[in-house]
Amino acid sequence: MLDAYCDADHQSCPETSRSVTGYLLRLHGNMWMWKSHSQRRVTEDTCGSELVACCECCKMVVWARELLLELGFGGKDLQVPLWCDNQSAIAVVASNGNTSRVRHMAKHARFINEYVQEEEVEVMYVPTADNLADVFAKALSPAEFERQRSRLNVEDVPNAWVMVEAVADTEAGAASNADDDCEMLEA
């Protein structure tokens, strides 16, 4: 029913060395929420950038999960998959941040782990090529952008307008034929 993808591009800003976070939430396979922004703090490594992105995404997952439960969708056993393409970040979450290498990032790991332990969120690995949040974290080649956009069920605006105009023309034609039919009946 609900799933989420997160990604980060480590130190992508050449001026500030800040990383970019990108994440999205899907409801029944359709993109529902998304965000892309620079992280507030500089992180020392890719794992740290991914942990920050995963933590931010987890906050939105918790909010969305609670909203769906309040609206009567799903049961209390609704466990949301949170897809991440960094195995180191997933391992740090699993260890509850108890590694000396990333102790400065432990609060992010512990935040996520709390919801994992409560079985509200499940952090899972997704290969980078299949990570839907990739489009929100980094610049992609035109071909890769098109591939990711189509996987997100997002239409190209000019093509969407052509389709809307075609439907409108068809409906207008059907309406004018209906008017002709009414005139013929009156005569």
| pLDDT tens by residue, 101-121 | 777 788 899 999 999 999 999
Distance from C-alpha of 59 to C-alpha of 41, rounded to nearest angstrom: 18
User: Which pLDDT value is given to residue 98?
Assistant: 79
- Rounded to two decimals, the pTM is 0.79
CA angle 63–68–70, rounded 5-degree value: 95
Which residue in the block uniquely carries the two structure tokens 């931010």?
56
Contact (CB, 8 A) for 67 and 25: no
User: Which pLDDT value is given to residue 47?
Assistant: 87
pLDDT at 164 over 70: no
What is the average pLDDT across 169-186?
51
Higher pLDDT pick, 6 / 162: 6
Higher pLDDT pick, 47 / 82: 82
Please tell us whether the domain made up of 2-154 is placed in CATH 1.20.210.10: no
pLDDT at 100 over 70: no
User: Which pLDDT value is given to residue 121?
Assistant: 97
